[in-house]
Amino acid sequence: MTRVLVTGGAGYIGSIAVSMLLDSGYEVTVLDDLSTGHKSAIDSRATFVEGSILDSASIAQSLQGCEAVIHFAGKSLVGESVEKPQLYMQVNVEGSTNLLNEMKSAGVKKIVFSSSAATYGEPTESTVSEESAANPSNPYGASKLKVDELLAERSASDGVAAISLRYFNVAGALKTSSGWLRERHDPETHLIPNIFKATQEFPLKVFGTDWPTPDKTCVRDYIHVVDLINAHISALKSVQPAHHQIINLGSGDGYSVRQVIEAAARASGREIPSIDVERRAGDPAVLVASIEKAKKVLRWSPMRDLNAMVEDVFNSAN
Ligand code: UDP
């Protein structure tokens, strides 16, 4: 049976990956320093190593018996990256370099990396393909782009089999036999979980209502986390020795902040209290994926729409 190391397996997306990999017949080791993840989110069938990707010894320990890595661990907040760019370079770039060095020592050659649409920055096309220019508009995107470049180098120099999956906006939750696995960041910055936290006293802040979009709020491409992880499992099977591929993961559809609020209001049966505020630093106006490459290379398609995402987030929080 194949054992996979999942870095960041205590986080929102990583913990759902762990559970789905185990259900698909893989064995799993999790490496996580619990800086933003939750120990309780790690499936009890997985082997857990508590440690950081900045610590080579922890990486080496967690790689024992593994044939492949899915690398989620890292810092992932655009706003925080604008304030602390060095932290993002250190954790995301140095951490990934350490991981690749330890993989080399251990003879592990397959990796699927959690990259980001933030690598593209402010796109010039209406949908973003993998051929679109990478021009990140914040240090978070810049750090993910550096790791994509590092993977390309290591595939050429060391024969690493790698796929970088560039996520657009991930949402939704997974119900398991031990409860819901869901997004629970503190502080929470992401739109959909924040929508369901909104109260009259603490309304949802709509960041910017002067964007060049149809309703003047930002447009994003939302993908259900279960669809996202199914694409990772396909990617694990699709990596080729000495090849690095970049593949976008989204739904291929764009929704404005106001449209997401309306979908959430329908799912919850209540009005969402909101106020319009200034734009948030580092946000592009529109980010929508072309997902033709994912469909072709991974033989994958997203199956869950925005309504399914908001319903799952609502149900998992209640
Ligand atoms: N957003 C918002 N209010 C919030 C959180 C997010 O208006 O409390 C907007 C944000 O400006 C962006 C979109 O919702 O246009 C998605 O933001 P999120 O932080 O969820 O993901 P990102 O696009 O930064 O990856």
Q: Are residues 189 and 146 in the same domain?
A: no
Quick one: 117 and 244 in the same domain? yes
Q: Do 68 and 40 form a contact (C-beta atoms < 8 A)?
A: no
Residues 47 and 165 both lie in one domain:
yes
Domain span at 109: 3-171+223-249
51 and 160, same domain (yes or no): yes
Q: What is the CATH number of the domain that holds 229?
A: 3.40.50.720
- Of 261, 253, 277, 271, nearest to 313 by C-alpha is 261
Which structure tokens are listed for 8? 């960041």
Angle made by CA atoms 114, 115, 117, in degrees to the nearest 5: 135
Please tell me the residue having the least CA distance from ligand 1 atom 14: 191
- The confidence score (pLDDT) of residue 250 equals 98
Say whether both 244 and 264 belong to one domain: no
Contact 215, 258 (CB under 8 A): yes
Q: Which of the residues 12, 140, 222, 255 is marked catalytic?
A: 140
Same domain, 156 and 60: yes
Q: Side chain identity at 23, as an amino acid letter?
A: D
Residue pLDDT, tens place only, 97-112: 999 999 999 999 999 9
Domain boundary among 233, 249, 265: 249
Give the count of domains, the chain.
2
| Residues 6+ away with beta carbon under 8 Å from 165 | 112, 113, 114, 115, 228, 231, 232, 235, 247, 248, 249
Q: What's the pLDDT score for residue 59? A: 98
pTM: 0.96
Clarify whether residues 58 and 128 are in a common domain.
yes
280 and 135 in one domain? no
Q: What's the confidence (pLDDT) of residue 246?
A: 98
Co-location of 258 and 302 in the same domain: yes
CA of 8 to the centre of ligand 1 (A): 22
Same domain as 130, residue 215: no
Known catalytic membership, residue 140: yes
pLDDT at 155: 98
pLDDT tens, position by position, 243-266: 999 999 999 999 999 999 999 999
Which regions in the chain score pLDDT beneath 70? none
Q: Is the CB of 280 under 6 A from ligand 1?
A: yes
Q: Are both 181 and 231 inside the same structural domain?
A: no
- Concatenated DSSP letters of 263-317: HHHHHHTS---EEEEPPPTT--SEE-B--HHHHHHS-------HHHHHHHHHHHH
Q: Are residues 162 and 16 in the same domain?
A: yes
